[in-house]
Structure 1
């Protein structure tokens, strides 16, 4: 029962983390312009992995998509690949996790379900690491430009999408770890129960055979007409 509850908690954590990681891709604010050291405060510049935009004081936004994928900076291409990989890994991890849970009726025997659930946990951990690496790489570029005194272009601050990505990655890693630990405990318990039941069945069968064999040393009870 404890392992089943742990699997349900791990599945909810990993699914929540995967949803958060997936929501970072269409989120606009990966980086937002900083007003520190700038004169123009009536416009806000922001960008994500797909476009860069500017919003004026009236709330009107003008966006420009990145013209060429090959002309992008290397860190943006790396972040795109890592985040898309995290979304794909989270999808396959959710399928394997649903199949490998004890509370589901698919997946075959308990040993096969344990292997599938352990694989799902490893996939979710890898999903979290990809998302964590992608968000951290993007944040490192922002912070390095912000604290570089020789950088004279527009400086940016960390956007909301980075914090969402870090939260989703943490949930995926925690849920995947719980998946692996719960399956490890679950794989040990059936073996002990099987050995104990086997020993009990052998003892019970021997007891039945011993009781079924008549005891020759015990006194015999004859009927009253036995000597007639």
Structure 2
């Protein structure tokens, strides 16, 4: 029951994370800056310059917006191309991860046996991790570009210093949800990664330990014989000499008894 609840919670939170990332692809104001706003008693003129992954726009104080859409992919700034590629690649990996995790969950009636479902869930968690890392790389690349332009000391007077917009923070939160869901998936199938050894009592005092790795054969075991008849230990000379003397004295006693009879 606990395994099912953890898997359901991981599925919900990872799906919510992918929804956040998908929404950021279509949102505006990835970066924004403001010009003007200081006019004393005269009419204050303000212009907002903002951009997303698909267009550059400017909005004036009269709420009129003029945009320049990117015509073709190879005409876009290289770092924007990189961000688009990383995000789209992450979304594709996330799609396969969601499907595999849905099939591999314990509460679904598709996917085969329990071991097969656990393997599918583990592969889906790997897809989630790869997609989340790809999306984080895209957001970090965009943040790095904005930070280098905003904090540059030798920037020209006409260089616009942009600020980060809401889609960046929403996307980072979505990536955190994706990685958290992948960790929850992996926790529920940790037995597939690290199988536990089974100890079965063979006889009194004897134990059988199943092999952990596939390199060992099924006959690899450790057997400790039962202590029914005790053992003879001594000090000084070796135990073989002690045993031979003990056998000699026993034979002498047997021979004397036969002679008396």
Tell me which residue corresponds to 2:28.
28
The answer as to 2:70 corresponding to 1:70 is no
Structure 2: any 5+ residue segments left out of the alignment? 201-261
d(CA) in 2 for partners of 1:58, 1:191:
73
Tell me which residue corresponds to 1:178.
184
Alignment of 1:29-178 (within 5 A): 29-34=29-34, 42-152=46-156, 153-178=159-184
C-alpha contact 2:34 2:46 (8 A) present in aligned 1: no
1:9-33, Cα deviation, whole Å (9 max, x unpaired): 1111110001001111111111011
1:115-150, Cα deviation, whole Å (9 max, x unpaired): 000111111111111111101100110011000022
Larger RCO: Structure 1 or Structure 2 (Cα < 8 Å, ≥ 6 residues apart)? 1
d(CA) in 2 for partners of 1:140, 1:131:
14
Q: Secondary structure at the match of 1:64?
A: strand
RMSD value, Cα? 2.5
Q: How many residues align?
A: 194
C-alpha contact 1:3 1:185 (8 A) present in aligned 2: no
So what's the TM-score if we normalise by structure 1?
A: 0.78
CA apart distance, 1:66: 1.4
Larger radius of gyration: 2
Determine which structure has the larger helix proportion and give its number: 1
Structure 1: any 5+ residue segments left out of the alignment? 197-228
d(CA) in 1 for partners of 2:71, 2:161:
22
CA apart distance, 1:72: 2.1
Which stretch of structure 1 is more off in the superposition, 65-74 or 140-149?
Answer: 65-74
